[in-house]
Amino acid sequence: MRLLVLLLSLCAALPLSAADTPPDLAPLRKWLAGQASVRTVQADFTQTRSFHALRDPIASPGRIAFSAPRSFRWELGDPPRTVVLRQGDTFYLIQPQKKRAERRSAADLGREAAGGAMPMMDFPFAKDFDDFNRRFEVLGVSTEGTRCHVEMLPRDPQMRKLLTAARIDFDTDSGHLLSFEFVTRDGSSLRNDFTNVRLNAKIEPGRFDYDFTGYDVVDAKP
């Protein structure tokens, strides 16, 4: 720790270098602006969870579908073990194997900051750059070819206590979200890598419906 303080003190005494300049937000601004024209999103993904107590990470396949303004379906597992469904201002956390579904409002979800527990329930990431800037502090932006990598942290104090890093990668040409990752303070992480991304493609009828016959549907406890 003393060595770190000394190094930081020495750096502060040096002239401003390129590493000290603010990140170039132009690619991020362009990507977020492009989301305004996106009406539907469909993609496959692989979710990888790493836990501090486990040697090997756990990977699961999944699918996601979004239709503006407020229809959303997120499935994890094949067959799905967990389904998150948004119908307007109502969310359902569905466990098909248990025939159980928990219902909650978008307002409740926001108050509980459930995005950290169930990522992608609030989709897309932001309405525009101003909305993104209100929610996240950008720490760094780097590009390699058409892939742009963004290091950030949530501005919400409660979420910031839980996370040490948040990252997104996107393609600057196609506008496709390539991955996002959260790292918690205990060293665990959750990463989603997207493939077969389709923007503004037609979504089959009934994609955002769900047959709750035989399910125990309960309201989430406040």
CATH number where 187 lies: 2.50.20.10
Does 47 have pLDDT greater than 50?
yes
67 lies in which domain range?
A: 23-217
Tell me: the pLDDT tens digits for 185-208?
998 999 999 999 999 999 998 999
Residue 38 within any structural domain of the chain: yes
Residue 1 within any structural domain of the chain: no
Number of domains in the chain: 1
Residue 8 within any structural domain of the chain: no
Residue 16 within any structural domain of the chain: no
Residue 182 within any structural domain of the chain: yes
Residue 10 within any structural domain of the chain: no
Could you tell me which of 68, 86, 70, 73 has the C-alpha nearest to residue 45? 73
Instruction: Give the rounded percent of residues in the chain with a pLDDT score beyond 70.
Output: 82
Burial class (CB in 10 A: 0-12, 13-18, 19+), 209: exposed
Residue 204 within any structural domain of the chain: yes
Backbone phi, psi, residue 214, to 5°: 80, 0
Residue 194 within any structural domain of the chain: yes
Peptide bond between residue 61 and the one before it cis (omega within 30 degrees of 0): no
Q: What is the pLDDT of residue 222?
A: 66
